[in-house]
Structure 1
């Protein structure tokens, strides 16, 4: 049955709600596995989070990780530091073969505390990512100055070849977390190597020759431990650059050492699949323009800080680019140093407040759990992107993203009769709110509002 308010809307405007179109879900046609959704608290934001009062902490944690009232994020991304004041190896041991003097405070700029909070909510995927090697291992001699890892192809240094020492450095960081009872599951050694900044950075060439000369060494360092680690590459600043890197990596046989291909989306979005059989992740995304502040606005002008813009990005990423994970930049901020590139803010009433982007993620991350598989769908609705998933508990989730200005009635067909069907909606008037869904036999019918998202979950 179509809800009454939509029937009234249809009477007022005959094109306000289109007639039902059918989409069939084929759970036997399995596509990519879903690893999850996540964010970071790097560069001191974890310390800021840790220092917040208990009530505010709890509110923000629930908004980010709780699967009943929040987004249910399932991946966190930690920064492996390289600055001399915070790194685990603040001083050069003198040469690559010398014994390193590792140090550990057990805090890691608040990230140990933050990781423990995430794990308490059931998060089991922890991505540790280095922005740079320590400066004494680089051609520039400084971790925040453009440069390459000494010893990689074409980059000889008078101090020697630091590739093995850097691999050991990364592994030691993981061991320190292990000593805290925390398991890092994914390890990355680069961040935006196609970009020059004023903070921690390390470059590679477009043909990824430096990465190709380092990855087997890092792989060996991991294999020489009892750690269960997945190695990633290369966190390019944009999808098109990562496509170039990936082509070079695969041609050089690096897929036998790597577990995940990682990228950001700042200079180019993930709109098509990379030429690899490895899982692909967007490991950082955000709003770059300073005139687009944190907002709870879902849809207005199509500004990059609006929730509907990100609903479309997520749909395109998982459907067209075949992503297995999608991470935003920052989670919780109090001082708003990242403009709209954080998901939870301190509201005017002193309470934690979720952005519209948080609710765009929630329509996916709360219901599509780690280990799910995307499955094929047959049929389409005008201006509606449709993605279907089967969770490991056999529940099926369908996300309908309507980028049009007309509401659509969708009839979803499933392979078997439904025990139950539930649906949630997010648009200008709702934030992950329960909405009407009619279940009959093996079909579910729901209205998807204009510029809105509906998620259906069936058993």
Structure 2
């Protein structure tokens, strides 16, 4: 079933020309005060991955279905307006299904401890991740993040791409073949250069994924000290190659698991090598901000329960309203500049993707996608900053709010009503020199344009239905 872009028009908002007018009482309902001069972190955007050959799955669709999916994910006019794409930097010696093939699948000979590798060309344009990157960039993506789940098998203590193991040469390892840190750094450098040859800049590169876990798929373990041992090799290698790509670390399986590794890197004096701190939301959800001056992204999170397309039915972990709260709180509580779901689109049987590819060219969109869209580039642009937004008069504590100021003077405010009744809210603190738009997502609406007001000075009064997300674009 091909989902259609919703375009229904429902009047939900009213505008008062001056507040309060003479003899008028202050609003009795919740008041959302926006403070444009209270600025927090910058904003890089939202994103997804198509690693583990899901780029190939997209490439196999017919052209109309390809464009539909790509527009849903990346278009700021038709879809979620995602601005970050996370690719998989492969370590597998083969192209078997679900494997991410390495550009250096075999150890060099005759000297296994050499720091130089005999690289091969990217297989099938990196399993169509080159193609996807080009498509995403053409639709407005700003950042390409390449992340390795593991080093190649011959560089590790367990001589296996899977089931954990450590990079030979870091603290507390001993490998008969020697120290493979420089070889791993050289491989990453070559991978970035290969993408440059396609005209694609990799903005960030990571060398670990969930290093607190040992898994039956590509994985490599590391604590903070061991990560620092490699960072102090990779950083100068990239610099000497004249590469501006910045290093990301460490994609811990959860927020606190990553905090532990970041703390170890800081203790080892290697934080200076990082351009980005990255963490997932699985083992522990995003919480208190990391103590770092570096930018922070939440780079992978999803659910694995039965297929769910709903916004809200019973409050399950895979519903759209749940994810709207996750996204908003990760920006407002954890102070991230970027938020990434796991797969954008995939042929899956659980909720790992935002869009299901069912059969050859059958595309079905979940409500989780539209939760992300409220934080996409349709409303929040590159260079934006999160600004102050608080709620008073919310007697049921049902409302969650966030606000972002764009460099062109526009402002996006997201209001989530987790309650069971409609809330009439008053939005104050903004000057409105342009039309004010409100956009609604709930079980019945997918980013529906509710009303457009003539631009003027004053407060905005709007009805936020129960179990809904209403965004204001001022």
TM above 0.5 = yes
In 2: Cα distance, 1:347 partner to 1:151 partner? 45
In 2: Cα distance, 1:303 partner to 1:25 partner? 31
Q: Which moved more, 1:123-132 or 1:437-446?
A: 437-446
In 2: Cα distance, 1:29 partner to 1:252 partner? 34
Work out which of the residue numbers 426, 429, 443 in structure 2 matches 1:428. 443
In 2: Cα distance, 1:117 partner to 1:401 partner? 32
1:137 corresponding residue in structure 2: 155
Q: Is the 8 A contact 1:259 1:278 kept in 2?
A: yes
1:90-142 CA-to-partner distances (Å, cap 9, x unmatched) read 11113232531101135111111111110111212000000000010000011
Quick one: structure 1 residues 450 and 77, their matched pair in 2 at CA, closer, same or farther if it must change by over 3 Å? same
Gapped regions of structure 1 (runs ≥ 5): 8-17
In 2: Cα distance, 1:228 partner to 1:238 partner? 28
1:306-334 CA-to-partner distances (Å, cap 9, x unmatched) read 1011011011111111111110111112x
1:370 corresponding residue in structure 2: 382
Deviation at 1:455, TM superposition (A): 0.7
1:418 corresponding residue in structure 2: 433
Work out which of the residue numbers 402, 406, 423 in structure 2 matches 1:408. 423
Q: Is the 8 A contact 1:266 1:288 kept in 2?
A: no
1:178 corresponding residue in structure 2: 196
Work out which of the residue numbers 459, 464, 467 in structure 2 matches 1:451. 467
Map 1:59-458 onto structure 2 (within 5 A).
59-85=68-94, 86-93=101-108, 94-97=111-114, 99-105=116-122, 107-205=125-223, 208-289=224-305, 292-293=306-307, 295-333=308-346, 335-337=347-349, 339-346=350-357, 351-365=362-376, 366-380=378-392, 381=394, 382-436=397-451, 441-458=457-474
In 2: Cα distance, 1:160 partner to 1:345 partner? 45
In 2: Cα distance, 1:192 partner to 1:200 partner? 10
Q: Secondary structure at the match of 2:469?
A: strand
1:276-310 CA-to-partner distances (Å, cap 9, x unmatched) read 22221110110023xx21x3211011111210110
In 2: Cα distance, 1:215 partner to 1:259 partner? 11
In 1: Cα distance, 2:292 partner to 2:220 partner? 24
In 2: Cα distance, 1:389 partner to 1:222 partner? 34
Deviation at 1:367, TM superposition (A): 1.5
Deviation at 1:350, TM superposition (A): 5.2
2:50 corresponding residue in structure 1: 41
In 1: Cα distance, 2:115 partner to 2:281 partner? 39
In 1: Cα distance, 2:471 partner to 2:318 partner? 22
1:50 corresponding residue in structure 2: 59
Q: Secondary structure at the match of 1:218?
A: helix
1:174-197 CA-to-partner distances (Å, cap 9, x unmatched) read 100001111110000000111111
Deviation at 1:243, TM superposition (A): 1.6
Quick one: structure 1 residues 288 and 254, their matched pair in 2 at CA, closer, same or farther if it must change by over 3 Å? farther
Higher relative contact order (CA 8 A, sep 6+): 2
Q: Is the 8 A contact 1:418 1:442 kept in 2?
A: no
Q: Is the 8 A contact 2:62 2:361 kept in 1?
A: no
Q: Secondary structure at the match of 1:108?
A: helix
Q: Is the 8 A contact 1:437 1:446 kept in 2?
A: no
In 1: Cα distance, 2:249 partner to 2:12 partner? 49
Gapped regions of structure 2 (runs ≥ 5): 1-9, 15-26, 95-100
Quick one: structure 1 residues 98 and 457, their matched pair in 2 at CA, closer, same or farther if it must change by over 3 Å? closer
Q: Which moved more, 1:89-98 or 1:43-52?
A: 89-98
In 2: Cα distance, 1:362 partner to 1:142 partner? 40
Q: Which moved more, 1:370-379 or 1:115-124?
A: 370-379
In 2: Cα distance, 1:452 partner to 1:309 partner? 11
Q: Which moved more, 1:110-119 or 1:429-438?
A: 429-438
Q: Secondary structure at the match of 1:142?
A: coil
Deviation at 1:253, TM superposition (A): 2.6
Q: Is the 8 A contact 2:12 2:462 kept in 1?
A: no
Deviation at 1:29, TM superposition (A): 1.7
Q: Secondary structure at the match of 1:361?
A: helix
1:45-101 CA-to-partner distances (Å, cap 9, x unmatched) read 101111111111011111111111100111000000001122111111132325311
1:236-283 CA-to-partner distances (Å, cap 9, x unmatched) read 111111122222222333221111110111111113212222221110
Number of residue equivalences: 439
